[in-house]
Structure 1
């Protein structure tokens, strides 16, 4: 009996095994794709399926036909609205002219208020993880790496650069054209946060079979988006691979270690409980502080990079702004309880 209990106590948690699997898969994929970037891109783009590329690339939010990305945008809009409602029920809105009416409309429905309050941590996770994955991760790396898109290399004659190398773009070249990583693929993989909530969060929420099926469907959808981006010659294979694995890794860490939506006891997961409800509006504060953190990183890297590359060397002065900005943002993020024990 003592031996079995000791063995069980030494068992590696499931989420740690999954974390290691994601990291190893990401490293293997990024290394394996490097020698075949150009030929694989040529092959996939040569077998382009026009209706598929248009379906995954169009968006009714850009005044186009409905597309695959609209599913994620609608999910994000619903998550934001629900989170606003969850925070609104615990906020003093007497100073605002219109918001009290919305608050009163919620408060007269106690069951809805209670549900929004209990699910605030889940909604906060969906909001913060989506923002970090689809915006902060993508924009930060685009500005730092500045990798040319395949069209610029295959048809424009620009020099090729691997995903781990600095590209030729700079501020005066328009960094929005950078290829690494793929924003569309990162946006698609944000849905995996919903699968984590279904699988691991809450008592009646624990539906492993349904959650696993949802997870597989989301991975298929994200892979389809990644394939469409390569077909359209908008991204290299490593661009989309990094977005898929990097976004998944980021969401996994935020769920289990950052916001700690599920507390771990051996191999079982349980919701932290109604008494552990995060403060209202914390998700928006975290997104703001994390944006400052990423901005500081970009300023430091650009200053160092172009000082050594003799391109606008005066940008090294931005480091003196970036360091205190990074320290301030990091302290605020820790004070809000992200990746810290104190909430």
Structure 2
């Protein structure tokens, strides 16, 4: 029942957000400039800072603490003498970590690298870089975009990792009507937090409005697919709770690391190929070749690990 109905939720997510992005896209510049003109200085600085980067406490701290706690519980759950309640929820902690790594790091860096969209401050500032839509290749693609690209918003993507909490109610035993009500009221503060981060990043001219909106959609979609289709968390938790053999230890974390390695290989291949296009060079050829090998090898190892863990 659970595994057979997950597609409806995914289609509903896409059906809501895709038209929303389509409506916002033509007014991306106007919305971004409006938010900048009405920005609250203290608010936008607070949302960008975090104690984990040497700043005072800020808006980025709750999600980092959430991920750290999930990592600790995940590690404890893989220990031989772990408490039963933690061991039972280990697949869920692994789901949080895999979604966080893939959604807020891999997806963000991969798209930044290849899209290369210039940030608003570089478009309207002295740099004078050209404006491009979120679906177009920008002026910083491949060369300077890994850290500096505007699309998508990494801060907003990180906050959206909290959406994993909504899926607690997909593995709990309770009345379906009540679970949906609880999920709805839990979604409100999570989406409000993501909206505040999106507003702050747009107000600071660090991102366009569509950068942040896309991050909200993409991370939620990744979480939904990971929970039901990729990691199959409900199925694994039922199997573990029923006394059947548990999947290999730390497999969710290892699987997400293989995804990261695959993305790193793709980035290296893209960078090397771009340099080769501009002129032949041994370093570029080696980078492209190694990137291709790493991407293929990591993808195959990750697929094999998943098949073994899920008994496919």
TM-score (norm 2): 0.87
Which blocks of at least 5 consecutive residues in structure 2 are unaligned?
A: none
**Alignment-derived partner of residue 115 in structure 2:** 145
Is the contact made by 2:272 and 2:286 (CA closer than 8 Å) also made in structure 1? yes
Matched, 1:213 2:185: yes
Matched, 1:181 2:152: yes
**Could you report, residue by residue, the CA deviation over 1:152-184 in whole angstroms, capped at 9, with x for unpaired residues?**
001131111221222222666463111111000
Measured after TM superposition, the shift of residue 322 of structure 1 is: 3.1
**Could you report, residue by residue, the CA deviation over 1:48-91 in whole angstroms, capped at 9, with x for unpaired residues?**
022321331221222222222111000001001111111122xx
C-alpha distance in structure 2 between counterparts of 1:127 and 1:37, whole Å:
32
C-alpha distance in structure 2 between counterparts of 1:24 and 1:77, whole Å:
33
Is the contact made by 1:147 and 1:163 (CA closer than 8 Å) also made in structure 2? yes
Alpha carbons of structure 1 residues 340 and 304: separation in structure 2 relative to 1, 3 Å? farther
C-alpha distance in structure 2 between counterparts of 1:151 and 1:303, whole Å:
29
**Alignment-derived partner of residue 267 in structure 1:** none
Is the contact made by 2:116 and 2:144 (CA closer than 8 Å) also made in structure 1? no
> For 1:65, what is the secondary structure of its paired residue?
coil
Alpha carbons of structure 1 residues 186 and 124: separation in structure 2 relative to 1, 3 Å? same
- Between the two proteins, the alignment pairs up a number of residues equal to 305
**Alignment-derived partner of residue 102 in structure 1:** none
> For 2:13, what is the secondary structure of its paired residue?
helix
Matched, 1:160 2:160: no
> For 1:298, what is the secondary structure of its paired residue?
helix
> For 2:78, what is the secondary structure of its paired residue?
helix
Runs of 4+ aligned residues of structure 1 deviating over 6 Å after TM superposition are: none
C-alpha distance in structure 1 between counterparts of 2:308 and 2:29, whole Å:
39
Kindly name which structure, 1 or 2, has the bigger radius of gyration based on alpha carbons.
1
Residue of structure 1 aligned with 2:59, choices 65, 68, 86: 68
**Alignment-derived partner of residue 123 in structure 1:** 93
Alpha carbons of structure 1 residues 340 and 276: separation in structure 2 relative to 1, 3 Å? closer
Measured after TM superposition, the shift of residue 123 of structure 1 is: 1.0
Is the contact made by 2:118 and 2:140 (CA closer than 8 Å) also made in structure 1? yes
Q: Which stretch shifts more, 220-229 or 272-281?
A: 272-281
Which blocks of at least 5 consecutive residues in structure 1 are unaligned?
A: 1-8, 90-106, 265-269
Residue of structure 1 aligned with 2:24, choices 23, 28, 33: 33
Is the contact made by 2:262 and 2:299 (CA closer than 8 Å) also made in structure 1? yes
Is the contact made by 2:115 and 2:141 (CA closer than 8 Å) also made in structure 1? no
Alpha carbons of structure 1 residues 341 and 81: separation in structure 2 relative to 1, 3 Å? closer
TM-score (norm 1): 0.80
> For 1:74, what is the secondary structure of its paired residue?
helix
C-alpha distance in structure 1 between counterparts of 2:194 and 2:143, whole Å:
33
Aligned pairs (5 A) from 1:1-343: 13-89=4-80, 107=81, 113-156=83-126, 157-169=128-140, 173=144, 175-196=146-167, 198-203=168-173, 207-263=179-235, 271-274=238-241, 275=244, 277-305=246-274, 310-311=277-278, 314=281, 315=284, 318-337=287-306, 342=311
Is the contact made by 2:157 and 2:219 (CA closer than 8 Å) also made in structure 1? yes
**Could you report, residue by residue, the CA deviation over 1:266-308 in whole angstroms, capped at 9, with x for unpaired residues?**
xxxx84442353221223321321111111222333445555x
